Amino acid sequence: MTGPTRSWLLPMRARDTAEPHRVSTPLELFFDLCFVVAVAQAAAPLHHSIAEDHLLPGLRGYLMVFFAIWWAWMNFTWFASAYDTDDDVYRITTFVQIAGALVLAAGVGPAFEDNDFRVITIGYVIMRLALVAQWLRASRSDRPRRDVALRYALGVTVVQLLWILRLWAPESWPVLPVFLVLVLADIAVPIWAERAAGGPTTYHPHHIAERYGLFTIIVLGESVASATVAFRGALDEGSHYTSVLLRLAVAGLIVVFALWWLYFDRSAHALLITMRASIRWGYGHYFIFASAAAVGAGLGVAVDHATHHAEISSTLTGYAIAVPVAVYLFFVWLLHVRPHQTGPMLFAFPVAAVLALLTPLTHASLELLAVLLVLLVAINSTVGRRVPDRVG
């Protein structure tokens, strides 16, 4: 017996927001897996920039590159939640977006080393214009939301033209201000498009929450992988580093595991009840994803410092981990905890974030940070769960 014949082209109609058993598809999982290559390429130069005491240029480059990765991933995710037809054309168009992600990953090195964003821009534009084709398909099939889809297609196309024109901007133009203007233009497109007649798009709250959760896992896993490579390289230099590296490895693993625990302690789908709340929640994850990946870079810096390959102080080494951890805690609190929690527990995450920023002032900053996160997990899992949720 043979299975059902696949369709080449299906009508791209909006999916039901209450569709049961709406889970991530194999194509979405493959999409995430390919995107993590770009995440790894962005985190590695950040690690080396910090270790070589080039903090500000490295951080600027990382945040700029990570925006392109995150924004392209996020727009595909929300589109797929509403219009995943899984026909052959849809799959091929998604593979074009994946190819764009790999082109972007190939351009990370020149962007960090030479401030050359040409390859990254090409990869980014490939990903975004492939999504324009998807929105045009949606505009033909989903008549009630035709205006929304056309606004997306128009807005994304115009902004991509601006990104391309940026490559020919005079060298005297400041890079960062121009970049920020284009970022604001990009993130304004969904806000403008969703206000059209027939909106908003029919994203699935459970599906969106799962997709974000899976990408959080992948980014945290990339942190573990980055740290593992650094540990392996250090161990190859000799056994006299074994004890200090073992201590760092245990503490680093506890930190990453605690970050995972805190993110997944509560379900997020009930928070995605309005388009305004969903956009705030979705946009805020830029900081969660970027800080999670930066933790891996920070662990690599800690290994370099322990093996005397870093050109920075122990305090700055501690901040290479403590700062992304603090940012992660704050935004997990802002997006996941604050809408749920009431009472004194509402302040546990912000207090922990502040205390995390104090750990580099000690001699065992990573170990103390691990202890702090374990305490936060314990408090959040006991006292925090005794307080009734404010949302269902």
pLDDT digits (tens, 9 = 90+) for 167-205: 888 877 888 888 999 999 999 999 999 988 777 888 888
Higher pLDDT, 353 or 22: 353
Write the CB contacts of 329 (distance below 8 Å, at least 6 apart in sequence). 262, 349, 350, 352, 353, 356, 376
Show the tokens assigned to 106.
């190939």
pLDDT digits (tens, 9 = 90+) for 97-121: 999 989 988 888 888 877 788 899 9
pLDDT digits (tens, 9 = 90+) for 122-145: 999 999 999 999 999 999 888 889
> pLDDT at residue 230 above 80?
no
> pLDDT at residue 2 above 70?
no
pTM for the predicted model, two decimal places: 0.90
Residue with the two structure tokens 């990946």: 293
- Domains of the chain with bracketed CATH: 26-193 (no CATH), 205-386 (1.20.1410)
